[in-house]
Structure 1
Amino acid sequence: MMDFAVLSWRWDGDLKTRGSKNIASAIYQAKRMGVRYLFLDLVSIDQSLSGEALIQQVVEFSSLYSTIPVIAAYDMEGEEFEDTMYRPWIFNEARLYRYNPTKMVYVGHSNQGTKHDPGSSPFGGEPILGVDIWRYEFGKTLGHVWTGSFIETIIGVLCDKIGMSDVSDLKFIIPPYARVFTTAYRKMSRNDYLLTAAILCRVHAPPRGKLNWDAGAMDYGRYSFKEVNSEGSSSSWTWYGIFLDGTRIGLWKHKYNEWLDYDWYLFDVLPDAERLIFNALGLSDSDWGEFIAQVEARRHCLVIDREDKVPVPKVEIVAVTLP
């Protein structure tokens, strides 16, 4: 019997009227597991708090995902399951329970996360979750999340492909960047702010592979994308400099794959990208010094250890039928 578990869930209803099938599924599974107390962020975090106090509460609650058993429920009718798991809050929680020493259980009610696919491994070799788990939609997507970075989800939000109710919440999701994200949100347009967040994350963590969406096609106030020389690259790639207030800060690459009929994008930043952003936001030298002192915290937040360093937690996938 497990006394405690924490819920990672997708908002899928109105709690005052028809309720949430994901919460109902999680409670059903918790009872089956003998769980007496199921922690739910909606009621376990004081929603009246703001600023640093709220950030601290969110950080403390988030630690549960890597310490006690997790029940996850993300089914959402009418939305692609991978898009749901790449929503920034869910994406972050899934990364946190990568370090869970106990177990996590995915419970699905509409054959989304529990959908079984007998096809080949999506990981190009030995699957990270074992031969059985990755055959399910949840296991396959979880493996992608664990080998990816926040860049994929932030670029997805930027390009309006991934849902996020309030983009300012990134300061809660990636706490070591709270101050700079807060300042960028206040001083920049939505798209400028999100691209700034992606650039900062790119300094320490490259994306899992090629990106699916073209950030260069979005409208910006202070950023611009300008085609630059190939710099020795293959002619099949088109290179664009990313400029902030006229100063080059990164590199965006595009290639069209005729065989797959697919556009690929790659993303790099310059070594001084962080400092250029701080200068552009008008942050002080003391802010910069505090930011530099947190470099290890940022790396720990952005980069997931591989299986040879930290064992993969036990993962279980359960389908339920609700009354």
Structure 2
Amino acid sequence: GPSWYWTMRRPWILRELREMRANPHALHYVGYLQGQGSETWPVGLGDTPTDGYRFTDMLSRVWRSSFTHSILGVLCGRVGMYSPTHLRYLMPEHGEILAQAVAQLEHNDFLLVAAILCNMTEFDPGDPRSGKVNADADISQATYSRLQLVEAEGGTYDSNRAILLDGERIATWRSHFNLYTSNTHSYLQPAADAERIIFSLLGLSDSDYLRYVERAEPRRRSLLLPDAADDVKPAIDVVRLMPPPQRARAAVLDRPKST
């Protein structure tokens, strides 16, 4: 169910799931409750893995993405995290800028800025569908201090917001309502110069920013796992344990004790 999805998106749990990608041995997942990943769904829907298990699908999603969804989940209160300051340990290539951000920004401002910095790595400005995030994580419901969300340009069925830090645009939150499916699709799309603006407004020097730019490739590798063509995924075995029927269980409990 939704709670299981967001539990799997907790940043530290997500880190462990990402580590599983390099596991040379088979992964075994055992579930015994409905909605906890061991059930199947129809094969062939979107990116559903061929085995149809939700746990396998979740791993596939995690291995194709970074921490952006998790950070937005924390911001919107759907994902638990003891302290957002831990993000600098989960994203060490962003450690310097995140340390500055957490020292200067309020809680919600910090999380949204962290999500934007994280999403810079996987965002493709040439792809209008790039930057897609879970529609349940609605950042417009949160309150901010130095950040502002103001109405932005968009199509007929869009409800877009420009994200401003101290008045300068660092990203766009696109929210598009699909008239045919009645679903809302959300996208976090960073501005091309978002990183430079964030560095400047947080008081970091030009040399700090240049050092950050020079490490673009290590930063990308730290957040995005290799494509399937470049890596071998571990085998995944999902097992669902079924509880005994209630009637049979009651019969066992009511059985007279031997004397």
Identify the TM-score tier after normalising by the shorter chain: 0.7 to 0.9
User: For residues 315 and 185 of structure 1, do their structure 2 counterparts lie closer, same or farther at Cα, with a shift above 3 Å needed?
Assistant: same
The answer for the alignment partner of 1:147 in structure 2 is: 64
Partner of 2:11: 88
Could you say which structure has the larger radius of gyration?
2
Q: Give the conservation status (yes or no) of the 8 Å contact 2:30–2:38.
A: no
Q: Which runs of no fewer than 5 residues in structure 1 stay unpaired?
A: 1-77
1:168 aligns with 2:92: no
Please tell me the residue identity of whatever aligns with 1:312. K
2:25 is matched with 102
How much is the aligned-residue C-alpha RMSD, in angstroms?
A: 2.5
Which residue identity lines up with residue 188 of structure 1 in the other structure?
Answer: L
> Could you tell which deviates more after superposition, 189-198 or 155-164?
155-164
1:115–1:318 Cα change, 3 Å: closer
CA distance in 2, matches of 1:314, 1:209: 28
For the residues of structure 2 that align with 1:285 and 1:210, how far apart are their CA atoms?
A: 31
Residues 102, 156 of structure 1: CA spacing in aligned structure 2 closer, same or farther, 3 A cutoff?
Answer: same
Q: Given that residues 122 and 140 in structure 1 are in contact (C-alpha distance below 8 angstroms), is that contact kept between their aligned partners in structure 2?
A: no
Q: 1:121 to 1:165 in 2, by over 3 A?
A: farther
Aligned equivalents of 2:120, 2:23: Cα separation in 1: 26
Q: Any idea what SS the aligned residue of 1:308 has?
A: helix
Superposition deviation, residue 318 in structure 1: 4.0
Specify which structure has the bigger relative contact order, considering alpha-carbon pairs within 8 angstroms and separated by 6 or more residues: 2
What is the DSSP-based 3-state SS (H/G/I as helix, E as strand, rest coil) of the residue aligned with 1:304? coil
Alignment of 1:1-323 (within 5 A): 80-108=3-31, 110=33, 113=36, 115-124=38-47, 127-128=48-49, 131-132=50-51, 135-206=52-123, 209-212=132-135, 213-230=137-154, 234-319=155-240
Provide, for residues 220-263 of structure 1, a one-character-per-residue CA deviation record: whole Å limited to 9, x for no partner: 11111111233xxx322233211110011111111233554433
**Structure 2 contact 69–133 (Cα < 8 Å) conserved:** no
2-structure distance, mates of 1:208, 1:103? 31
Query: Stretches of 4+ moved more than 6 A in 1?
Result: none
Q: Deviations over 1:247-281 (max 9, x none)?
A: 11111111233554433211211111111111111
Give 1:102 shift: 3.0
| Corresponding residue SS for 1:168 | helix
Identity of aligned residues (%): 31
SS at match of 2:162: strand
- What amino acid sits opposite 2:139 in the alignment? A
Q: C-alpha separation between the residues in 1 aligned to 2:205 and 2:153?
A: 34
Report how far residue 306 of structure 1 moved.
1.8
The TM-score with structure 1 as length reference comes to: 0.66
* TM-score between the two structures when normalised by the length of structure 2: 0.81
CA–CA distance in structure 2, aligned partners of residues 118 and 223 of structure 1: 40
